[in-house]
Amino acid sequence: MHVQEWLDTVPAALVYVVVGLVIGLESLGIPLPGEIVLVSAALMSSQHGGINPVVLGACASLGAVVGDSIGYAIGRKGGRPLLAWLGKKFPRHFSEGHVATAERSFTKWGMWAVFFGRFVALLRIFAGPLAGVLHMPYWKFLIANVLGGVIWAGGTTAVIYYLGVVAESWLKQFSYLGLVAAVVIGLASMLIVKRKAKKSNAEREAAEPESVPTAD
């Protein structure tokens, strides 16, 4: 079942909880489709009034910030053995190559890696735990975490919501234009067919031989 189809079965009030929870779990290091869930929910909010996009963005932001902070705490306490354990549990996401790439990014960019990592699927999972493993000062991590989480979650919600509203409005206009176009095309076709029929009848009558009167 598609994510949006599944969200349609969830009561509107629980959609906020689901989005915040999935994004939070993804942020603390569990590979879940947080971005897909957020995009699907934001699209739903543009299609019906049951989901408030502002509340949705706030819940997504809260999930991102809290999840990253928990991931930071876990990474700081668990250290590198935690990354090794995650590599065994989730080899596709926490392979040695991926960990090395993320670690180089964090060593080079520091706080910016946490901030921009929110916008990259792989780094979004690594950001919290890896920052903790590398013992990044928490105040630096928190600033980058809050800014990245709010801009990513709020920005994604706003963009998808307004795109959905514009798309729905355009589709409505398109349906009306399509109806008008269908009527115009239908009338034009009918006139063309009638004109061709008259022309064909005239040509046929002109081609028929005139009747010769018979002698008495």
Give yes or no for a contact between 23 and 63, defined as CB atoms under 8 angstroms apart: yes
- Which residues, 6 or more positions from 119, have their beta carbon under 8 angstroms from its beta carbon? 148, 152
DSSP string, 11-53: -HHHHHHHHHHHHHHHHTT----HHHHHHHHHHHHHH-TTS-H
Instruction: Report d(CA 120, CA 130) in Å as an integer.
Output: 15
Enclosing domain of residue 110: 3-169
Assigned domain for 174 exists: no
Q: What is the pLDDT of residues 156-167, one digit of tens each?
A: 888 888 876 665
* Whole-number pLDDT of residue 191: 62
Q: What is the pLDDT of residues 60-115, one digit of tens each?
A: 999 999 999 998 998 888 777 777 776 777 766 667 777 777 777 777 777 888 88
pLDDT range class, residue 150, cuts 50, 70, 90: very high
Assigned domain for 210 exists: no
* Average pLDDT score over the chain: 75
Domains: count for the chain: 1
13-to-56, 61, 139 alpha-carbon distances in Å: 10, 17, 33
Assigned domain for 15 exists: yes
Give yes or no for a contact between 59 and 16, defined as CB atoms under 8 angstroms apart: yes
Assigned domain for 183 exists: no
Give yes or no for a contact between 116 and 148, defined as CB atoms under 8 angstroms apart: yes
Instruction: Report d(CA 67, CA 84) in Å as an integer.
Output: 20
Assigned domain for 9 exists: yes
pLDDT of 179 strictly over 60: no
Assigned domain for 132 exists: yes
Assigned domain for 209 exists: no
Total-model pTM: 0.68
